[in-house]
A and B are shown apart, each in its own frame.
Chain A
Amino acid sequence: MSRTIYDLIGLAAGIAFILALKGLSHPKTARRGNLIGAFGAGLATLVVFFYASPSVYGKAESSLPLNNLGWILGAIAVGLIIGVPAARKVEMTQMPQLVALFNGVGGGAAALVAIVEYLNLGSEATTAQVVFTVFTVIVGCVSFSGSIITFMKLQELMTTRPVVFPAGRFVIAATLASVIGVGGWVVSALGTTPLLILAALSLLFGVLFVLPVGGADVPIVISLLNAFTGLTVAASGYVLDSVLLIIAGTLVGASGTILTRLMADAMGRSLFGTLFGAFTAKPQDSSGVAEDRPVRSGSADDVAILLNYARRVVIVPGFGLAVAQAQHTVRELADLMISKGIDVAYGIHPVAGRMPGHMNVLLAEANVPYDQLVEMDEVNPTFGQTDVAIVIGANDVVNPAAKTTPGCPIYGMPILEVNNAANIIFLKRSMRPGFAGIENELLYDPKTMLLFGDAKSSLTKVVSALKAL
Chain B
Amino acid sequence: MDAMAILSIFVLSVFVGFEVVSKVSSTLHTPLMSGANAIHGVILVGAIIVADHSETNLELGLSLAAIVLATINMVGGFVVTDRMLEMFKGQKK
Contact = CB atoms under 8 A, between A and B. Distances in A.
Interface of A: 13, 17-18, 20-22, 24-28, 30-31, 33-35, 37-38, 40-41, 44-45, 48-49, 53, 56, 59, 62, 66-68, 71-72, 74-76, 78-80, 82-84, 86-88, 90, 92, 95-96, 98-99, 102-103, 105-106, 108-110, 112-113, 115-117, 119-120, 128, 219, 222-223, 226, 229-230, 232-234, 236-238, 240-259, 262-263, 266, 350-351, 355-358, 360-362, 364-365, 367, 369-371, 375
30 contacts: A21-B36, A25-B24, A25-B32, A27-B28, A30-B32, A35-B82, A37-B78, A41-B39, A41-B74, A45-B44, A62-B52, A62-B53, A102-B80, A106-B73, A109-B70, A112-B66, A113-B47, A116-B63, A119-B59, A226-B40, A234-B13, A236-B43, A251-B36, A254-B13, A259-B24, A259-B32, A357-B30, A360-B88, A361-B87, A375-B26
From A40, A79, A364, residue with most partner B Cβ within 10 Å: A79
A128 B18 CA distance: 26
A106 to B, nearest CB: 4
A21 to B, nearest CB: 5
Nearest to B77: A102
A397 to B, nearest CB: 13
Interface string B24-45: 1111111111111111111111
A59 B28 contact: no
A266 to B, nearest CB: 5
Interface of B: 1, 3, 6, 9-10, 13-18, 20-54, 56, 58-60, 62-89, 91-93
From A24, A28, A117, A219, residue with most partner B Cβ within 10 Å: A24
B22 to A, nearest CB: 6
Contact of B85 (A17, A30, A248, A253): A30
Contacts of A358: 30
Contacts of B83: 87-88, 92, 95
B30 A79 contact: no
Closest CB pairs A-B (n = 9)? A79-B71, A254-B17, A83-B76, A356-B29, A250-B13, A106-B73, A83-B72, A87-B79, A112-B66
A21 B35 contact: yes
B46 A240 contact: yes
B28 A102 contact: no
A420 B38 CA distance: 42
Given A35-B82, A255-B17, A357 B27 contact: yes
Given A25-B32, A223-B33, A262-B29, A48 B85 contact: no
Contacts of B48: 45, 48-49, 66, 72
A31 B35 CA distance: 10
A361 B46 CA distance: 33
A356 B43 contact: no
Contact of A259 (B29, B77, B92): B29
Given A41-B38, A255-B36, A361-B87, A83 B26 contact: no
Given A78-B68, A116-B50, A262-B21, 13 more contacts: A67-B54, A83-B72, A105-B70, A105-B72, A106-B77, A109-B67, A110-B40, A110-B46, A240-B49, A245-B45, A251-B20, A252-B37, A360-B88
A238 B2 CA distance: 10
Given A24-B31, A83-B72, A102-B76, A128 B42 contact: no
A102 B37 contact: yes
Contacts of A250: 9-10, 13-14, 17
B80 A90 contact: yes
A251 B64 CA distance: 26
B88 A31 contact: yes
Given A76-B71, A106-B69, A357-B29, A34 B35 contact: yes
